[in-house]
Amino acid sequence: MARITYLECTKCGQQLSAETPRTVCPKDGGVLYARYDLKSLKAAFPRERLAGRAYSMWRYADVLPEATPVSLGEGFTPMLPSREYPNVYVKDEGLNPTGSFKARGLSAAVTMAKHYGSKKLAIPSAGNAAGALAAYAAAAGIEAHIFMPKDVPTANRVESEYYGAHVTLVNGLIGDCARMVGELKEKEGWFDISTLKEPFRVEGKKTMGYEVAEQLGWKVPTGIIYPTGGGVGMIGMWKAFDEMEQLGWMGSERPRMITVQSSGCAPIVKAWDEGKASSEIWPDAATRAAGLRVPKPYGDYLVLDILRKSHGTAVAVTDDEILDALRQWARIEGIFAAPEGAASLAAYRRLLANRFFTPDDTVVLFNTGTGLKYLDMLDTEQGVRRELPTSRQIAGIIGPY
Ligand SMILES: Cc1ncc(COP(=O)(O)O)c(C=O)c1O
Ligand SMILES: [Zn+2]
């Protein structure tokens, strides 16, 4: 495993020691990246050394922080060739523990929290991150305190409770949940494991970038379409490509990185269209793709920079397009996707139609989770529950705090 040489602020470049737990840059609130001595690793860790290793994200342990992994078998998910589009692959993250790619980030973050001796972790979550934290905290013997919107998919609440987490349902959105964690954490002695407010969820998610390259025979695809809420997956994969170049595993070629969001909450798409370097709060965010209901992503400046550097783009698709894509994947590919994941297919269709991609381009669509966690919401289609979750509610606490 790799010793972290320092943590680096993505805004001011300040270097901080990783000897003690860190959140964000104390000077400007910038996201911190873990940095390793990749020059030495280049000699010690040729990619051939991966042969015969366990098929989990920890096969890349040489570029992950030095600590005993808290693992439930996350990562190395299937890269499925599409049956509908000859040059498209579906990276099926629904097969992770707790049914989403959030397992990777939380496995890494809980590993490091345990390493540092944290006893109580807190998270604001759109749903899937909560379930993942609850599972890894249970496996690590650490307390988990979860704040999520009261209208999250039932599975996210139920699994978190079964894993023994302290669950607070909030009459509001993820931003309201984050505010509550912020207000309570000092008094309660919680370590805040929010998206991009500690350095290690990115480390876990970056393994998706390593896997894309390895599973495509060390060739990067023309494009990667990634459903973006907080943007950690996109940020992590971009970091991985950078590291792989420094390790000599690939050259300077990069995939075009594509953000897809729901037209009911598309702050990154709006900022991209307006040529801005950061986003503004999206008012009255409303979408069935619960994980994309992030009105103001903390790492917006990183995502927008990646879109620019990779010659990518940002696309908003409607909930109807998402549900149509979800049905299509289920019927044609045999993949029952999370709505967030199905948004990738909706975006691909759009980008084929407007010739951003040609049918010859190799494109990886991320299905970030399983549809099985959204049965209550998907059953809405049968007329069970018609109202859309919205933020037009006054934030208030329902749960135990
Ligand atoms: C299934 C699913 N896809 C995508 C996302 C967005 O992820 P990120 O925060 O990495 O952009 C989420 C976040 O909750 C999610 O649960
Ligand atoms: Zn800084």
Q: Using one digit for the tens of pLDDT, what is the confidence trace for 278-324? A: 999 999 999 999 999 999 999 999 999 999 999 999 999 999 999 99
Query: Is 388 a residue whose pLDDT tops 90?
Result: no
At 3, the pLDDT band (50, 70, 90 cuts) reads confident
Q: How far is the CA of 229 from the centre of ligand 1 (A)?
A: 5
Residues contacting 261, CB < 8 A, separation 6+: 227, 228, 229, 267, 268, 269, 292, 314, 315, 316, 317, 343
CA 282 – ligand 1 centroid, Å: 17
Burial 288-310 (b: 16+ CB within 10 A, else e): bbbbbbbbbbbbbbbbbbbbeeb
Split at pLDDT 50, 70, 90, the class of 29 is very high
% of the chain exceeding 90 in pLDDT: 90
**Token pair 């978190």 in the structure block, residue:** 160
Confirm or reject: Cβ of 368 under 6 Å from ligand 1: yes
What atom in ligand 1 is closest to the CA of residue 232? 10
CB distance 297 to ligand 1 below 6 Å: no
Predicted confidence band at 382 (pLDDT cuts at 50, 70, 90)?
Answer: low
pTM listed for this prediction: 0.94
DSSP 8-state symbol, 284: T
pLDDT mean across residues, the chain:
94
233 Cβ inside 6 Å of ligand 1: yes
| Ligand 1 pocket, mutate which of 95, 102, 106, 304 (most atoms under 8 A from CB) | 102
d(CA 86, CA 66): 40
pLDDT confidence band for 381 (50 / 70 / 90): low
Q: Across the strands, what pairs with 36? A: 4
CA of 229 from ligand 2 middle (Å) equals: 23
Is a pLDDT exceeding 70 seen at residue 399? no
pLDDT score, position 380: 62
Four-residue CA torsion sign, 349, 127, 11, 241: negative
Q: Are strands 313-317 and 256-262 parallel, antiparallel or unpaired?
A: parallel
Q: Report whether pLDDT(398) > 50.
A: no
**pLDDT, average across residues 169-185:** 93
Higher pLDDT residue, 140 or 395? 140
**Ligand 1 pocket residue status of 369, Cβ below 6 Å:** yes
**pLDDT given for residue 379 in this prediction:** 82
Tokens of 235: 């940020």
At 331-355, the pLDDT tens digits run 999 999 999 999 999 999 999 999 9
